[in-house]
Amino acid sequence: MSPEFLKTRRFLQQVWFFDRVPRREFGQLYHCLVRRRYEAGEHLVEEGQVGYALFIIESGCAEVYRQLGDGQLDRLAVLSAGDCFGEMALLHEQPRSATVTAIEPTYAYLLYKTKLEELVDHSPHIAAAILMRLSHHLAIRLEQTLRPKSELYSNTALEESPHVIGLR
């Protein structure tokens, strides 16, 4: 096994989104991911563009923000190693709800919807593990949106679904 694969496997095993994927299957998962480098100031995704992939930040930092009606920017979060965003793109192709821009040189792994669909056909146990984790995450998000606003920002709500920003 190559040193790059071993390093990537160790990283992916720590990412919550893949924690249900069996260890022996990380080789197949590895081949489904695309690793990209983004320079400081470069957009990973732009608000309004159609989303096709889930992003997993490997290193660096990226800022998440939305454009307000008056032209101001509303900073939503800062993402770092292990954080994921864009999971809704795995389910349907809709416009992104925010822009994500690299603050510093940033590496990210992308899992495209088409690759997940290939996993469904050729490695259904890997796809099932990913989709089960995704459904769990979406159930928590739905529960959070149904809670009163006073409970929405409690530590418990944030701890239930760490390291993810729900951007389509």
In this predicted model, what pLDDT tens digit does every residue of 100-132 receive, in sequence order?
Answer: 999 999 999 999 999 999 999 999 999 999 999
If you ran DSSP here, which 8-state letter would residue 18 be given?
G
Angle at the Cα of 107 (from 104 to 112), degrees rounded to 5?
135
pLDDT at site 149: 61
Q: What beta strand segments (E) does the chain contain?
A: 33-38, 43-45, 53-59, 62-67, 73-79, 84-85, 99-102, 106-112, 164-165
Give the right CATH number for 3-165 from 2.60.120.10, 3.40.1170.60, 3.30.565.10, 3.60.70.12.
2.60.120.10
Q: What is d(CA 3, CA 26) in angstroms, rounded to the nearest whole number?
A: 14
Span 126-160, pLDDT tens digits: 999 999 999 998 899 888 888 876 665 555 544 55
In terms of pLDDT, which residue wins out, 149 or 15?
15
Unique residue bearing structure tokens 């040189």: 105
d(CA 96, CA 61): 19
pLDDT in tens, 35-89: 999 999 999 999 999 999 999 999 999 999 999 988 899 999 999 999 999 999 9
Which helix or strand (DSSP H or E) is residue 157 part of?
A: helix 155-160
| Separation CA 38–CA 107 (nearest Å) | 6
